[in-house]
Amino acid sequence: MTQSLREIDLYTDGACSGNPGPGGWAAILKFGHHVKELSGAMPHTTNNRMELFAVISGLGALKERCRVRVHSDSTYVVDAINKKWVDNWVKNGWKTSDKKPVENQDLWHLLLLTLRKHEVSFHKVPAHADHPENNRCDQLAKAAIQGQQQADGGMQGEEALTS
């Protein structure tokens, strides 16, 4: 007898103060009445990297194979999966249709590895709309940026390391 997979809703968001600049990410995992919130920050990054990192972190927090519905306001992430851009990048040696190297290849590789562990579907949610989980992710990601900036006195990059 095969055991059915747990069904998880994963809500994600990434944010940046400047692009590039200090960034934050957040993920909310929901299974029935159980909710787990995750967030973090990086000192020098981009919005797209934080959006990818949020999905990778949320999926990575799952201890067993699950059926996951990823809800993201990132057109970049959702379209890359749903419109098969990633499949084309892989076929084309990680080059875009313009023959340029795909940005954020390190995170795309990591996401593809993580996706193999689960059954995953991606769903676009409107950004900055009245969507409670997306709004909460946005709050968590922005709070992570603020926490990071307070921890290093608001300095960025090498300036923070050399003072």
Q: Which of 24, 40, 51, 71 is catalytic?
A: 51
Active site (annotated) includes residue 14? yes
Q: Which of 23, 71, 73, 133 is catalytic?
A: 73
Q: Which of 32, 33, 128, 153 is catalytic?
A: 128
| Sign of torsion over alpha carbons 59, 62, 65, 71 | negative
Active site (annotated) includes residue 138? yes
| Sign of torsion over alpha carbons 86, 77, 16, 41 | negative
Q: How far is Cα 95 from Cα 139, in angstroms, rounded to an integer?
A: 34
Q: Which of 23, 58, 118, 138 is catalytic?
A: 138
Active site (annotated) includes residue 128? yes
Q: Which of 14, 21, 24, 40 is catalytic?
A: 14
b or e along 43-60 (b: 16 or more beta carbons within 10 Å of the residue's beta carbon)?
bebbbbbbbbbbbbbbbb
Active site (annotated) includes residue 32? no
**Alpha-carbon separation of residue 69 from 6, 7, 31, 40, 78 (angstroms):** 11, 8, 11, 21, 11
Active site (annotated) includes residue 73? yes
Active site (annotated) includes residue 51? yes
Q: Which residues are catalytic?
A: 13-14, 51, 73, 128, 138
